[in-house]
Amino acid sequence: MAQQLFIGIDCGTQGSKAVVLDRDTGAILSEAYATHDMIENNLGRREQQTAWWVAACTKILKQVLTKVDAAAIKAIGVSGQQHGMVALTASGEVIRPAKLWCDTETSEQCAAITSRAGGQDAVIKLIGNTVAAGFTASKIAWMQEHEPQHFDRLSTVLLPHDFINFWLTGERRAECGDASGTAYFDVKNRTWSPELIAAIDPSGKLASCLPELIRSDEPVGTLRPELAEEFGLSTEVLVSSGGGDNMMGAIGTGNVVPGVVTTSLGTSGTIYAHSAEPVIDPQGELAAFCSSTGGWLPLVCTMNVTVSTELVKEVIGMNNEELNQRAELAPLGAEGVMLLPFFNGERTPALPTATASITGLNQHNFTKQNLCRAFMEGPTLGLRYGLDVFKRLGVSPAQVRLIGGGAKSPLWRQMVADIFDCPVVRPSNDEAGALGGAIQALWCWLGQQGEAADIVELAGRYVSLDESGAAEPIPANVAAYAEVYESYLTLDQALRPTYLR
């Protein structure tokens, strides 16, 4: 059989990655990475130019294609940072920079949308989720309120991965996994929600600006002829539906069956699991997302994980290796030094106006090693709160598959095992989103060829685990961290009045 290759692209917050998967051997034959800039201010604005994504994707596609036979490329699958708002005119012109998942400038609009929809309980009943500050809904309302001249030109609202698909194919389509993070999508019925759309935009215009929804195993389209020529690819190359980074990360970590929980230690932190049915939280703390495999993907997101460690590295002046060495010198609990890591506000719990705090300092424990450990423990304790939300809803992990930059640290892997009281293993491939995109592209392509294709079987074949990166919970550490966690919760509750005013 002639070689058949599949490209996965992950367009994230900090940069874009691409991998090329060989169907026959399962090997990653080529990979590349390019960074993105950020537009930000101290009022919560976090935006990017879509041209930066296009430039990064162009660069990495050209790089990976230099190492493989371009004629063997059959399909492309795109993973993208969730919740961002890309506004297009009727002619396909990008109207303004994309507002990102971590943009909290639109927090005020969340309350207004929720109120117009009948309150939080009514919103959860309608769509299975709340109108969270990170979601797309408030970004649209913010643009209508603050930039009416831009809203007037609006023809289509796309998510970041939808926009990359649009660039690749010229088609304006969306799939249910990423769409379920907009706060105007009904996760039970897998359709846009007329009630929430009306609550965002009472004028009625928004309803005509939403893309067509397709299934997760459907193609968005084929590669535009001009791009096919630029990259030396066939115009028959399919582009699969793609999905949000968490949905593609689930495929890329083999999280397509119950019992597995994927946790990401990236800029933000996520915990998600596979479910055959919607998992809806009446308290609204868990995101009741659809997966990009036809199932559901209950998820909890925290806004600050490696944000914390990057900040402390910059202030103290050290690299990752030095950070880990310092943190390992400190005892469990960092001698009482504790970080509430809400540098970007917080999504779970829903505290978009929260700020970070360092407490417990005295003249004896104010050391570099304690600060380094506290800045790793704080985000992990925040993720433990998310795990408790899962358990409250009856979802308990048998194994945690750890991804993201923080997963490269043996100390952090052990910390997660001890704080979660659950075995941890690291997938062999670090680029779970890009690998998930490639596997989904293969799934889509096989279906279009009329071949039997099972995403569970495909994920099992192409996802491997690095057993040398495993960590088992240590009973004494589990007990000690249980006390530290209770102190974390107490501190959080005590400080809430200072940032909820």
Q: Cis peptide before 349, with omega less than 30 degrees from 0?
A: yes
Place of tokens 């408030």: 138
State the Cα–Cα distance between residues 248 and 17, nearest whole angstrom: 13
Q: Is 128 exposed, middle or buried (0-12, 13-18, 19+ CB in 10 A)?
A: buried
Catalytic site residue from 178, 186, 245, 492: 245
Structure tokens at 441: 């592209």
240 neighbors 219 (Cβ within 8 angstroms): yes
Cα distance between residue 118 and residue 120, in whole Å: 7
Sign of CA dihedral 487, 489, 495, 499: positive
- Taking alpha carbons only, the member of 280, 252, 155, 148 closest to residue 211 is 155
Of 200, 90, 187, 82, residue with least CA distance to 139: 200
Pairing assessment for the beta strands 156-158 and 269-273 based on DSSP bridges: unpaired
Q: Count of alpha carbons within 13 Å of 189, Cβ hemisphere only? A: 10
Relative to beta strand 5-11, strand 46-48 is unpaired
245 catalytically annotated: yes
Burial classification of residue 115, based on how many CB atoms lie within 10 Å of its CB (0-12 exposed, 13-18 middle, 19 or more buried): middle
- Mention every residue, 6+ apart, whose C-beta is less than 8 A from residue 400: 261, 262, 263, 416, 417, 420, 422, 423, 424, 425
Q: What angle do CA 176, 181, 184 make, to 5 degrees?
A: 85
In three-state secondary structure terms, 27 is coil
Where helices occur in 335-474 by DSSP H, the ranges are 368-392, 410-420, 432-448, 455-462
Q: Please list the active-site residues.
A: 245
